[in-house]
Chain A
Amino acid sequence: MTRRRFVQRILKAGSGILLGIVWLGKKASPRKFVWAKRLEKYPGPLKALGDVSKQGKWSG
């Protein structure tokens, strides 16, 4: 093996390891929460706000 080829191999292996470390680091780092943007138009039908003072029928 020539010296040049040996150096090339070392560099290849090194960059592979480096890429692996970066990938692992990204996986391990805490996830950055991204805010969802508001959609202006509601996709379903709209209804008027009625008498809110009465108790809800839903649990909770």
Chain B
Amino acid sequence: MTVQCELCPKLCLIESGQSGECRVRVNIDGVLRTVVYGHPCSVHVDPMEKKPLFHFLPGTDIVSIATVGCNLHCRNCQNWEISQANPEDSPAHILSPERLVDLTIKQNCPSLAYTYTDPIVFYEYTYDTAKLARGAGIRNVLVTAGYINEEPWKRLLEYVDAANIDLKGMTEDFYREVCSGTLKPVQDALVAAKARGILVEVTNLIIPTLNDEPEQIRELCRWVKSNLGGETPLHFSRFFPRYKMRHLPATSPRTLDTAREIAMSEGLDYVYIGNIQSKAGQNTCCPACKRLLIERSGYTILQNRLKEGSCPDCGREIYGVWK
């Protein structure tokens, strides 16, 4: 019997013995099953800044996990070896939600990230772990493309504290041709997460010739400002030739600087540049008095001048979760 997976907008109709597009949700004898529950392929302790999250517990470590699989197939994917892998070919650990929460406590980490591939496709594992983690006082972070249907997204958000969500482009054509997805569900997911009170940061990977036109960047910034608010941190990330996009050059530093200038001129308060060394593009400054608040170098915090989440010079409250 065919089953339909209603987790993401792809709504895969899965024949018996087959998997959905994500490769990890399968139909076994007419029952939808997740093959990666409790089986992460990657478990590490990362700096929070690597996610990247700049406004959520800066300077802390975060246990980070992923299973194989993804519901998008971005031609530029930097983690394609695991995101586009079949579970049959990919070694995985055995790690129940209970053991994962214990491990997080033992590592002395205040939070747990569901990241690297996309936590949407290991939804049930993410959900159960996040619920347990919340009960143990651990915060939950999603790093995701946000390609999910409304109902499962709202259920998961109940246990999420922060999310870095990709906004990969601003046209349906871009999402269709580069990612094999669609734009609208991602925008809806972003708005829903912000409305739920979750700390949301947005990442946009700038790919030469595909989404690097100033007008495209301006449109994205305007959308972020009017739908998520000017306080939402926006990370412009540098593209490197990977996977099926090895023919394109890496994004030039100038393009990233221009993107940051555009975003700030459109009224976004916190705009960062990632995947590249950039002094100004990594620091947090007060949007009111412009003084330096958090100085970073790579994933390291050099200084954090925030006082109770506010600027020590002018008292302006800074968007974020600081303790």
Contacts and interface: CB of A to CB of B under 8 A. Distances in A.
Contacts of A59: 78-79, 116
B260 interface: no
Contacts of A54: 44-45
Given A38-B38, A49-B43, A55-B50, A33 B7 contact: yes
A32 B11 CA distance: 12
B133 to A, nearest CB: 16
Contact of A46 (B7, B11, B78, B93): B93
B91 A30 contact: no
Nearest to B11: A31
How many A residues are at the interface, by size bracket? 20 to 34
Contact of B79 (A35, A48, A60): A60
B25 A46 contact: no
Given A52-B103, A55-B47, A38 B34 contact: yes
Nearest to B27: A36
B151 A32 contact: yes
A44 B88 CA distance: 4
B118 to A, nearest CB: 9
Nearest to B237: A59
Contacts of B46: 55-56
Interface of A: 30-39, 42-49, 52-56, 58-60
Interface of B: 5-7, 11, 25-26, 28, 31-39, 42-47, 50-51, 63-64, 66, 78-79, 82, 86-95, 103, 107, 115-116, 123-124, 143, 149-152, 155, 164
13 contacts: A34-B5, A36-B25, A36-B34, A38-B34, A39-B28, A39-B34, A42-B94, A43-B87, A49-B95, A55-B47, A58-B82, A58-B116, A59-B79
